[in-house]
Chains A and B, each alone.
Chain A
Amino acid sequence: MTREMAFNAVLLIALIAVPVVASGQGEPFIVTLATKVAILALAAVGLNLALGLGGMVSFGHAAFFGLGGYAAGILASHAQSYQPLMTWPVALEGTTQMLIIWPVAILVSGLAAAVIGALSLRTSGIFFIMITLAFAQMLYYFAISWPAYGGEDGLPIYLRNSFPGLDTLDGLQFFGLCMAVLLAALLLSWRISGAGFGLALQAARQSPSRVAAAGIRIFRIRLVAFILSGMITGLAGALYADLNRFVSPSMLAWQTSGEIIVLVILGGVARLFGPVAGAALFVVLEHALGGVSEYWQALLGFLLLGVVLYARGGLIGLVAGRPAHG
């Protein structure tokens, strides 16, 4: 077992043990924090696929996070008000079933990623960053100016959406659900990174001309990775809306895109558990430093500066060193 695997295991056990213990001691707030870690980690697992493996620095993943959130919020609000989503050409009802909401969130954010990716992947570097940012901001301004679903006020979800066999209003059960989704995404991300697709994606970041000489079309590989990435972050958005029982348009704002990038960088770019480490560190700091000073983000800024200057591998790189090779 490598040090990285040991660290990942410790991280995972802690992330599961802390809320279980906290729940037993009647500390629901800690359970909520752990759930937030799991969901933010899921969003970052999505971004890590594009940014880490593919080298696509998307500054617009808030678009997918927010679209996932709105998918959950809009479907739930229609179900709760008994207003059909649409009556023509087909009658569509809202739903409070996560098993329907999740595929919708994944589909919607995947479609958005297909459009945004197809246009922005024709550029690279700073232009790619700016175009993804512009698309996300377009969606943000659309959301705050469209009154049907709350506009600037956001969209409340009065009752957390349901999952068969679970009481999602129970903090620990909802945490377990989010954790299971996170684990599934980590498993998928691990398999992808070692599969032929992941190999091509990572090689395209390191040496695009070699990938073309290997007979592989880089644009298609990157686009599919970008879509998968958006889908995972979109699913995280749906869970986040359910965690807060509220969809805020700020989920679509550029600050959210920045936060997801920070999670990936803090934890360790392109490391399988980087997003988990980053999300855990972020939430712990937010909680611990937020109690000390409302300017805690300035301290986060210094930490980020330190990571970028001295610990390129993020937390995982600091603990485990360079990634191992096959």
Chain B
Amino acid sequence: MAEPVLAIRGLEKRFGALKATDAVTLDLRREEIHALIGPNGAGKSTLIKQITGELAPDAGEIRFQGRDITRLDAPARARAGLARSFQISAVAPEFSVLQNVVLCVQGAQGLSWRFLRRALRTQALVGPAQIHIARVGLEGRETVRAADLSHGERRRLEMALALAMKPRAFLLDEPMAGMGPDGAREMTALLARLKAEAPILLVEHDMDAVFALADRISVLVYGRIIASGSVAEIRANREVQEAYLGEAA
């Protein structure tokens, strides 16, 4: 089988006596949505931060497209094509929708060292930005300040920003967070389309969305992956039911 797009091997992270990440091994394969679920405090955020490069692991290895990225910082990983979204929307609130997306297009192209050429008049930046804006259904909202968007629109802007990174893999941290049922359904449809673009490592609490979207699910409890498999396998897994699903029911 082809090498996975993203391969995490034996990742460890300690905070004092607490093992926040305990020998985590995880793959993201081509053309799949791999959901990472787990109760609060399971260490999902800590794991994500190590994958994005915000936090350095104590041991283990992260390979991305066959290349060891364990020592790269967050901007370098982003430029390599690891696009992420944030649990709490991280957009520039005073910028318009278009400015936000243009920022990411230029970041992906490494064009942030232009001092005189106006970014919003540069077709090579604005053209792609408008395509990404349309793909998440925000066309017509280009000039609206990000702070004035509705919550759901801001979540979709997050997706446009991830798309703008020319992603080879998406790392999406609770894209449904805070959304109503309609918004969650739209986002589920959007994620299903994004999958064609690049594989998605999806951290999500919305179980309907996870079961609808995921090709595989891994369950993280106390920093360890206790189970990994197809939706049916995870649903049938007794340990998972006790640790997680049972708790929710």
The stretch of A154-162, A175-183, A192-200 that contacts the partner chain:
A192-200
Contact with A along B119-133 (1 / 0, CB 8 A): 110100100000000
Residue pair B92, A221 in contact (C-beta under 8 Å): no
Q: Is A95 an interface residue (CB 8 A)?
A: no
Q: Is A229 an interface residue (CB 8 A)?
A: no
Q: Is B113 an interface residue (CB 8 A)?
A: yes
Bound form: Cα–Cα A216–B114 in Å: 13
Cβ 8 A contact of A197, one of B54, B102, B113, B165: B113
Tell me the minimal C-beta distance from B167 to chain A in angstroms: 11
Residue pair A215, B75 in contact (C-beta under 8 Å): yes
Residue pair B52, A213 in contact (C-beta under 8 Å): yes
Tell me the minimal C-beta distance from A4 to chain B in angstroms: 15
Tell me the minimal C-beta distance from A180 to chain B in angstroms: 19
**Residue tally, chain A, CB below 8 Å to B:** 26
* Chain A residues numbered 166-210 whose CB sits less than 8 Å from any CB in chain B: 191-192, 194-200, 202-203, 206-207, 209-210
Bound form: Cα–Cα A221–B75 in Å: 13
Bound form: Cα–Cα A244–B124 in Å: 49
Pull 18 A–B residue pairs with CB atoms less than 8 Å apart, ordered by A.
A191-B116, A191-B118, A195-B116, A195-B118, A195-B119, A196-B111, A196-B122, A200-B112, A206-B94, A212-B78, A213-B104, A213-B161, A213-B165, A215-B107, A215-B108, A215-B110, A217-B75, A326-B99
Residue pair B107, A211 in contact (C-beta under 8 Å): yes
| Contact count A vs B, C-beta below 8 Å | 116
B contact set with A: CB distance below 8 Å: 52, 54, 73-76, 78-79, 83-84, 86, 90-96, 98-100, 102-104, 106-108, 110-120, 122, 125, 143, 145, 161, 164-165
Chain A residues whose CB sits within 8 angstroms of the CB of B96 once the complex forms: 325-326
Tell me the minimal C-beta distance from A48 to chain B in angstroms: 16
Chain A residues whose CB sits within 8 angstroms of the CB of B117 once the complex forms: 195-196
Residue pair A203, B75 in contact (C-beta under 8 Å): no
Q: Is A214 an interface residue (CB 8 A)?
A: yes
Tell me the minimal C-beta distance from B24 to chain A in angstroms: 22
A contact set with B: CB distance below 8 Å: 191-192, 194-200, 202-203, 206-207, 209-217, 221, 323, 325-326
Bound form: Cα–Cα A310–B83 in Å: 40
Chain A residues whose CB sits within 8 angstroms of the CB of B79 once the complex forms: 215
Chain A residues whose CB sits within 8 angstroms of the CB of B95 once the complex forms: 199, 202-203, 206, 325
Chain A residues whose CB sits within 8 angstroms of the CB of B125 once the complex forms: 196
Bound form: Cα–Cα A32–B41 in Å: 66
Output the nearest chain B residue to A218 by Cβ-Cβ distance: B75
Bound form: Cα–Cα A221–B115 in Å: 11
Most chain B CB inside 10 Å of its own CB: which residue of A215, A325, A326: A215
Residue pair A195, B165 in contact (C-beta under 8 Å): no
Bound form: Cα–Cα A221–B111 in Å: 12
Most chain B CB inside 10 Å of its own CB: which residue of A194, A196, A207, A326: A196
Bound form: Cα–Cα A209–B118 in Å: 24
Residue pair B108, A214 in contact (C-beta under 8 Å): yes
Residue pair A221, B91 in contact (C-beta under 8 Å): no
Residue pair B113, A211 in contact (C-beta under 8 Å): no
Tell me the minimal C-beta distance from B98 to chain A in angstroms: 7
Residue pair A210, B108 in contact (C-beta under 8 Å): no
Tell me the minimal C-beta distance from B86 to chain A in angstroms: 7
Bound form: Cα–Cα A207–B96 in Å: 14
Residue pair B78, A214 in contact (C-beta under 8 Å): yes
Tell me the minimal C-beta distance from A260 to chain B in angstroms: 23
Bound form: Cα–Cα A210–B86 in Å: 9
Bound form: Cα–Cα A184–B213 in Å: 56
Residue pair B119, A203 in contact (C-beta under 8 Å): no
Can you name 17 extra interface pairs (CB under 8 A) apart from A199-B106, A215-B108?
A: A194-B119, A195-B115, A196-B111, A199-B112, A203-B103, A206-B93, A209-B90, A210-B92, A210-B161, A211-B107, A212-B54, A213-B165, A214-B106, A214-B165, A215-B76, A215-B79, A215-B165
Cβ 8 A contact of B107, one of A198, A200, A209: A200
Bound form: Cα–Cα A207–B161 in Å: 13
Tell me the minimal C-beta distance from B211 to chain A in angstroms: 28
Given A200-B107, A326-B99, A326-B120, check contact A213 B78 (CB 8 Å). yes
Closest 10 CB pairs of A and B: A214-B107, A215-B79, A215-B78, A206-B92, A196-B114, A215-B107, A325-B96, A210-B90, A194-B118, A326-B120
Bound form: Cα–Cα A124–B164 in Å: 29
Bound form: Cα–Cα A213–B165 in Å: 9
